[in-house]
Amino acid sequence: MFHLESFRAVRWLRTCNLVLQAILITTLFLGLNYLARHYAWRFDLTHYHRYSLSPETRSYLRGLTRPVRVVVTLSDDAPQEEVVQALRDVRSLLREYTYASASNDAGHRITVEHLDVFQRNREAQQLGIEQPNAIVFLSGDQKRVVTLGDLYHIEGGEKREFRGEQAFTSAILDVAAAERKKIYFLVGHGELDPDSVDPVRGLSALRDELRLRNFAVEKLDIGHLRKIPDDAALVIAAAPLNVDRFAAEQLRQYLTARAGRAILLLAPRLPHGLDDLLADWGVMVDDDVIYDINPESVTEEGDLRIAAFQKHPITQMLIDRQLALRLGETRSLRPEPGRGTGSGLTLTTLGATSPTAWGERSYRLRQMPEYDPGIDVRGLPQLDPANRLGIGVASERVQARGDLPFSVRGGRLVVFGTADLAANSRLGFPGNQTLFFNAINWTVDRDTQLAIPPRPIERFQLALSQQELTRLRYSLLFIAPGAIALLGIMVYWSRRS
């Protein structure tokens, strides 16, 4: 006879209860996983939304036209602490990219993988990846490399902001585009050769770096082609000699009428033949060679050291990282006084010498340079930067479009007073490379079209005096354990009574 109050009945009821609890718990976890998989909600409660992508980036990812593969060559085993920290930041950010790209209607997603270029060297070579400590974006046959220097804004030797989203979104948009931006090197007038490996007259290192950054590179002989191609995103002229009038006019029309972009590297001692074009863009170039008696402005090898820069998208990274340029023979140049006012031109002197430098006009007549007042060139106090000679000028033309109440960006021109800035022998210097590639990015509107705010790097520091540190040590050693022991004694006496 079965009674509910019997031991057997109680045991069966307890067993059924345990089985039902197990079934309910299993069902609960299965239901939660189903909801999490199909109806996920994510909330970023951090102050600066550190773990969220901007609405602009999410919009781009939803409309992505091609899948993008991201290969990270950063390693946990790297001896540098900055690489390990960057890897943590990169991993968390790329996790958001893969999650956000899942909403792409066409199924074009972001995939991420980590690759050790030393242990998996053959695979790295097949992908065309040679350098460690980089993030490589691949889509089809297009590739873009983001380095550690692109990820952080450094001020005073410390990392202040994380700019990874800006760099990554720009790289994704670049490699996912149907065509690569094309850069033409002007030839036919004695210019430096992008195919030459000569350390002084060659630009092969620059050519390879541009291809690594997903640019298409070609030569341009205007006299033979009779025009500048329509697909030219940028024209570079390195040390031209007596450019003929037809080529100079074609280049001027390209910049003005077609809102083109150009970088001119005008070597000293060489007549360039581009005076009308430079005058049209408000840039004055002197026929001189810069000398400086300040030992802090000249390296042991005799290179000119440039460390003064004005704020501009081209120079901001040099200012942040306190980098300097190393230049060979350089001529001085400057914005035309008063030309920027009301002319639609925005002129900025990018880099300048120390106040002790001068431009030697009699460099053809004497071997020992010496400043001659009234003949040689000195920095002017009314120009920025005051009392310094400029070595680079950026000119941008903004013009009104008809009767519309806003302006339309026109052409962009960057002029440097030296050609060896980009030559094989000097491009490897960090300051030179940073300045020149920033000039390229600025002229072709790369990395300047994204309105994505950087993320501040938060630091928390506890400053304790020696006395406060001693109190904290004794508190942890005696007060906290003593309070726990006292509580235990009180519980013991209460139970005993």
CATH number at residue 69: 3.40.30.10
How would you write the pLDDT of the chain (497 residues) with one tens digit per residue?
A: 556 566 777 788 888 888 898 999 999 888 888 877 776 666 666 655 566 787 767 877 887 888 999 998 887 666 677 777 888 888 888 988 888 888 877 788 899 998 888 888 888 888 777 778 888 998 888 888 888 878 887 776 777 788 888 888 888 888 887 677 899 999 999 999 999 999 999 999 999 888 877 788 999 999 888 899 999 999 999 999 999 999 999 999 999 989 899 999 999 999 999 999 999 999 999 999 999 988 889 888 889 999 999 999 899 878 877 889 999 999 999 998 877 555 688 899 999 999 999 999 988 876 778 888 888 899 888 777 888 999 999 999 876 544 444 445 679 999 999 998 999 999 988 889 889 988 998 998 875 545 566 666 665 555 556 777 788 788 878 887 888 888 888 888 887 76
Residue 475 lies in a domain: no
Residue 14 lies in a domain: no
Is omega for the bond preceding 271 within 30 degrees of 0, making it cis? no
Residue type (1 letter), 276: D
Whether 136 and 188 map to the same domain: the answer is no
Whether 135 and 193 map to the same domain: the answer is no
Phi first, then psi, for residue 265 (nearest 5°) are -115, 100
Residue 22 lies in a domain: no
Structure confidence at residue 39 (pLDDT)? 67
Residue 480 lies in a domain: no
The string of DSSP codes covering 125-171 is HHTT---SSEEEEEETTEEEEEEGGGTEEEETTEEEEE-HHHHHHHH
Whether 385 and 301 map to the same domain: the answer is yes
The pTM for the full model equals: 0.68
Residue 47 lies in a domain: no
How many Å is the Cα radius of gyration of the chain?
Answer: 32
Whether 165 and 266 map to the same domain: the answer is no
Between vectors from CA 94 to CA 84 and to CA 312, what angle results, nearest 5°? 80
Residue 35 gets which letter from DSSP?
H
Whether 165 and 296 map to the same domain: the answer is no
Residue 327 lies in a domain: yes
CA distances 160 to 74, 153, 168, 259, 451, Å, are 21, 6, 18, 36, 18
User: Which residues have a Cβ under 8 Å from the Cβ of 15 and sit 6 or more positions away?
Assistant: none
Q: Is 281 exposed, middle or buried (0-12, 13-18, 19+ CB in 10 A)?
A: buried
Residue that finishes a domain, picked among 155, 176, 197: 176
Strand partners, 352: 308, 390
Structure confidence at residue 112 (pLDDT)? 92
Domain that holds residue 352: 182-443
- The three-class DSSP label of residue 196 is coil
Q: 3-state SS string over 373-409? A: CCCCECCCCCCCCCCCCEEEEEEEEEEECCCCCCEEE
Residue 130 lies in a domain: yes
Whether the CB-CB separation of 133 and 148 falls below 8 Å is answered with yes
Phi first, then psi, for residue 78 (nearest 5°) are -65, 140
Whether the CB-CB separation of 204 and 96 falls below 8 Å is answered with no
- The three-class DSSP label of residue 420 is coil
In this structure, what CATH number is given to the domain that contains residue 373?
3.40.50
- The alpha-helical segments, DSSP class H, found in 177-244 are 204-212, 222-225
Whether 105 and 221 map to the same domain: the answer is no
Structure confidence at residue 249 (pLDDT)? 93
Structure confidence at residue 457 (pLDDT)? 65
Structure confidence at residue 404 (pLDDT)? 44
The number of distinct structural domains making up the chain is 2
* DSSP H/E element including 456: strand 455-456
Residue that finishes a domain, picked among 118, 143, 176: 176
